[in-house]
Amino acid sequence: VGEIEDEHDDLPEELITPIGDGMWDCDARAELEDVAEQIDPRLAEVEESVDTLGGLTFILAEQIPPVGTVVEHPSGWKIEVTAADKTRVKRLRLHKPVASEDA
């Protein structure tokens, strides 16, 4: 019996890429579990049943957001849509939360 493959086996390795200055370029197919592990565990803390960063963005925007849309995660992270079509989000840029004055 050979290896069992699934749709995630063909994905490129670099779904999450740090681009400096507290920002990350991400494929919308990036698993929230991986985002939590590599960036911030709070990004995976959602009540809805979603597995990917694109799914999270859809839930937060309450629609398929067009390119240029920025949604804010409850943790303060901003998620900017950098590539999308009419049916799905393709690429995203995560912006680190800005530290508040009264922290």
pLDDT in tens, 2-60: 666 555 555 456 899 999 999 999 999 999 999 999 999 999 998 888 999 999 999 99
- Residue 102 clears pLDDT 70, i.e. is over it: no
User: Does an H or E element contain 61, and which?
Assistant: helix 53-61
The residues, ordered by sequence, that sit 6+ positions from 43 with a Cβ below 8 Å of its Cβ are 32, 35, 36, 53, 56, 73, 75, 77, 94
Domain range annotation of the chain = 16-95
The helix/strand/coil state of 20 is strand
How is domain 16-95 classified at the CATH fold level? 3.30.465
**Angstrom distance (rounded) from CA 29 to CA 49:** 15
- Residue 62 clears pLDDT 70, i.e. is over it: yes
